[in-house]
Structure 1
Amino acid sequence: MTLSLRNGLIVSVQAPEGSPMRHPDVIAAMADASLRNGALGVRLESPEHVAAVRERCPKALIIGLWKRSWPDSSVYITPRWHEVKAIWGAGADVVALDATDRFRPQAEELESLVKRAKDELGAPLMADVDSVENGLRAASLGCDWVGTTLFGYTESTRGARPPGLHLLKPLRAQLPAETILICEGGIASPQTARNAIGEGADAVVVGTAITGVDLQVASYHQHITRQTV
């Protein structure tokens, strides 16, 4: 594992569809500000945003993904070869993809997708998973990073609330030593981030709590304007 990743912060710089924050120049500025203030890398959504940040921050560590929805599958994080190739081509250093055991769009198989990304692109891959079992499987297929990103967001974990801190110790104990373990999802405070490192994560990804302007403002507004009974 690259030593610079230890105890590291990766900032997820994303914005929802329809938000004025979603403009590539805004995303690139937020990514630049994050990197200047101690983030070791950024996690970005869409080839357009990856390319914009790569142009503004040529030396940045970029984890890229592309969210695409399909009627025949609930997998939406870089679901197919088309998305993997586009994110890599835009300038990502690592390609993040859903590595759960769910049915993928157009019946693509995770195993063949990982193999093709390695053989044809030589791309490092981050497996976004929801369980210890899926994390270990992803690593065995060739994924270089494993993240707890989807804990609480899949059908089998929907009743659970992230972050999946309890997944970290068993994953660290069973993953190959060279596999980078990331805690992502639901990290809403510096203390929680510190706790994740203490449980075995090499680095943490924080998104909404830092760059989620739309969701953060909406939450404050709702709490302030809520009528008390």
Structure 2
Amino acid sequence: MHLPSDLIVSCQALEDEPLHSSFIMSKLALAAFQGGAKGIRANSKEDISAIKQEVSLPVIGIVKRNYPGSDVYITATRTEVDELLASGCEVIAMDATLAARPAESLQELVQYVRQTAPNVELMADIATVEEAIHADQLGFDYIGTTLHGYTADTTGKKVYNNDFAFLKEVLEAVTAPVIAEGNIATPDMLKRVFELGVYAAVVGGAITRPRDITRTFVNELKNSRTTS
């Protein structure tokens, strides 16, 4: 397996974020590596290529792109898959929800990668247990809880709710290694998901999004002032 059973750090910044830059993402990846991370998750061929020049860690690659008429935006079509294959990432993650897709079916994308680049592994980003089971049947190498809380039928839900009840359900339902991802905000939460039996865990915003981290401190301060 390309991914170690350990901490993977997501280094991403969209166009409206101040750190949006392949150079900056490469340095974030370097900082994560120096801090002990054993893998990186990154968005876009450009960012992944820059990260690959900085660190030798395995990379979970995605391409976020919106398509009219579809809610699928993480590695949605063969176009994004081809970009990721060219990036040199070891793992390609893709939306594995049951939402209507803009082009190829999920099964067709899986088959395309298996035929084109059999050494590249696949991660399914799912939102429900049903989707996890479907991804397992399609032969994904890893199943991640990435989209739980971010789809129409799971809006507002959190992976960590009720002591990670959703994660526990996924672990019981599939045979593929499970990757915990989604609002893992503290070291204690990271420790807990490994206690529950995940293969690996992706932590993003709590480590690599300083604007959002700053907001959590500011909001806490505001709340304390309004209640005192």
1:110 aligns with 2:112: no
Residues 47, 66 of structure 1: 8 Å contact kept: yes
C-alpha deviations, 1:66-95, integer Å up to 9, x for none?
A: 100112111111111110110121111000
Could you say what secondary structure the match of 2:13 adopts? Answer: coil
Which residue of 103, 111, 130 corresponds with 1:133? 130
For residues 65-214 of structure 1, what are the structure 2 equivalents within 5 Å? 65-106=62-103, 108-122=104-118, 123-163=120-160, 165-176=164-175, 179-214=176-211
For residues 208-223 of structure 1, what are the structure 2 equivalents within 5 Å? 208-223=205-220
Alignment match, 1:28: 26
Report the Cα distance in structure 2 between the residues aligned to 1:163 and 1:96, rounded to whole angstroms: 21
**Matched residue pairs, number?**
223
Could you say what secondary structure the match of 1:159 adopts? Answer: coil
| Gap regions ≥5 residues in structure 2 | none
Cα distance change on mapping 1:89 and 1:184 into 2, 3 Å? same
Q: CA RMSD in A?
A: 1.9
The AA in structure 1 aligned to 2:65 is R
The AA in structure 2 aligned to 1:132 is V
TM-score in terms of structure 2 length: 0.90
Cα deviation for residue 15 of structure 1 reads 1.4
Mean CA deviation greater in 215-224 or 152-161: 215-224
Cα distance change on mapping 1:171 and 1:161 into 2, 3 Å? closer
The AA in structure 1 aligned to 2:194 is I
Report the Cα distance in structure 1 between the residues aligned to 2:196 and 2:215, rounded to whole angstroms: 32
Report the Cα distance in structure 2 between the residues aligned to 1:168 and 1:223, rounded to whole angstroms: 28
TM-score in terms of structure 1 length: 0.90
Cα deviation for residue 169 of structure 1 reads 3.1
**% of aligned pairs identical?**
35
| Gap regions ≥5 residues in structure 1 | none
The AA in structure 2 aligned to 1:62 is V
Mean CA deviation greater in 94-103 or 212-221: 212-221
Cα deviation for residue 18 of structure 1 reads 2.9
Residues 44, 62 of structure 1: 8 Å contact kept: yes
Higher relative contact order (CA 8 A, sep 6+): 1
Cα distance change on mapping 1:167 and 1:116 into 2, 3 Å? same
Cα deviation for residue 171 of structure 1 reads 2.9
Alignment match, 1:9: 7
Residues 168, 200 of structure 1: 8 Å contact kept: no
Cα deviation for residue 225 of structure 1 reads 5.2
Report the Cα distance in structure 2 between the residues aligned to 1:219 and 1:37, rounded to whole angstroms: 22
Could you say what secondary structure the match of 1:183 adopts? Answer: strand
Alignment match, 1:38: 36
C-alpha deviations, 1:128-149, integer Å up to 9, x for none?
A: 0012221121121121010000
Cα deviation for residue 162 of structure 1 reads 3.0
The AA in structure 2 aligned to 1:14 is Q
